[in-house]
Amino acid sequence: MGFLQTALSLGTEAAVAVKNNKEKILLVGGLVLGAATVGSTVRCTLKCKDIVDEWKTNVEMIHTAAELSEEYAESDDMHKDFVKASAYAGVSIAKEIAVPVIFGAGATACIITQHCMMEHKVEKLTETVVGLAAAYKTIDLAFKNYRKNVINELGKEADDRFRHGVKKDEGATVIEFDENGNEKVSKKDIYYTDESDPSDYAKFYCGVNSDGSLNPQFVWMDPLKTRADWDANIHFLNCQQSYANQLLRINGYLFLNDVYEMLGLPKTKAGQVVGWIFDPENPNIDSHISFGTFRIINRKVINHEGGYEYEECILLDFNVDGVIIDKVKIFEK
């Protein structure tokens, strides 16, 4: 019973593995059969040459026998021997040719079947992406309407505070560094946000990204990386913003993940479907990329001792147009 269960389990796993990897199996099978077709064709060519040579020899022997014997030449035996020799050669050649033909047909069938499966998957993926884009667009529109209502009711400052989760820590202990890199402890009111990304598309621009990775684009003022060079960082952001707008005008669109990559920030799933479209005649979009006001804000992070400390960052708030993946032809056949 245990052996049966094990065999059944292995069989089920094998069937699932084949089902999940059938396109890869068909492609590999097609390539293997294609290689076998080439190899068997070479072998077939050599064998067929030998068969033809043997047939020529047999025909010459029949003609020689006919020259030596007039009775043989006038009988039906000569015709029968010629037919037998030719038929044997024809059958032998057909047998040799059958092998590369079978291999070639199998390779063609595997590759065509794999292509049809992949084409079907692309069609399904396209339908899924279009459906997700429509759903995402609905959510994005609802969120924009919600923000508009908040601004109308409570003002832009309240919207900014709610959206980015800005909080106030009165009399917080702050560790700062002077020009010589010496620590200086002071108490003051701190406006901060939590360590996670502040909103849907906004990002903190600082030495360490929210996922813990180091930002290679960030500029420090000293080798010990204790003080940020905010002037240099803001200059870099302005340059990248100008470059992003040039790309937008040239290509006609730009995804948010493209901008994240330019700034050394981690990509996101949302960043692959939202972005900007360049269409100056459309009054509903900016046709211009903005990274925000480059406002320096404190980010609350966990320190090595398990407590909290504040880290200065630039808050980038991108003015994306919303979902653009359905406006860009990325699944052209």
By residue range, what is the domain housing residue 48? Answer: 2-120
In this prediction, residue 304 carries a pLDDT of: 60
Counting the structural domains of the chain, the total is: 2
In this prediction, residue 333 carries a pLDDT of: 39
Percent of the chain with pLDDT over 90: 15
Long-range CB contacts (within 8 A, 24+) of 185-189: none
Q: What mean pLDDT is predicted for residues 210-239?
A: 87
Give the three-class secondary structure for 195.
coil
In this prediction, residue 235 carries a pLDDT of: 95
Q: Which helix (H) or strand (E) holds 261?
A: helix 256-262
Give the three-class secondary structure for 169.
strand
Cα(263)–Cα(236) distance, integer angstroms: 9
Is 133 contained in some domain? no
Same domain? 160 vs 100: no
Confidence of residue 59 (pLDDT cuts 50, 70, 90): confident
Same domain? 162 vs 308: yes
The listed range with the strongest mean pLDDT (148-157, 166-175, 220-229, 261-270) is 261-270
Same domain? 71 vs 213: no
In this prediction, residue 332 carries a pLDDT of: 44
Q: What mean pLDDT is predicted for residues 223-246?
A: 90
In this prediction, residue 64 carries a pLDDT of: 81
Cα(321)–Cα(284) distance, integer angstroms: 9
Cα(175)–Cα(192) distance, integer angstroms: 15
CB of 163 within 8 A of CB of 199? yes
Beta strand ranges found along 152-307 (DSSP E): 167-177, 183-193, 203-205, 253-255, 274-277, 295-302
Same domain? 160 vs 66: no
Which tens digits make up the pLDDT trace of 87-117?
888 888 888 888 888 878 887 888 888 778 7
Report, in angstroms and rounded to the nearest whole number, the Rg of the chain calculated over CA atoms. Answer: 37
- How do 295-302 and 183-193 pair as beta strands? parallel
Query: The whole model's pTM is what?
Result: 0.52
In this prediction, residue 168 carries a pLDDT of: 65
> Across the chain, what does the average pLDDT equal?
78
Is 125 contained in some domain? no
Confidence of residue 331 (pLDDT cuts 50, 70, 90): very low
Alpha carbon 148 to its chain centroid, in Å, reads 36
Is 168 contained in some domain? yes
Is 333 contained in some domain? no
The listed range with the strongest mean pLDDT (140-154, 174-188, 203-217) is 203-217
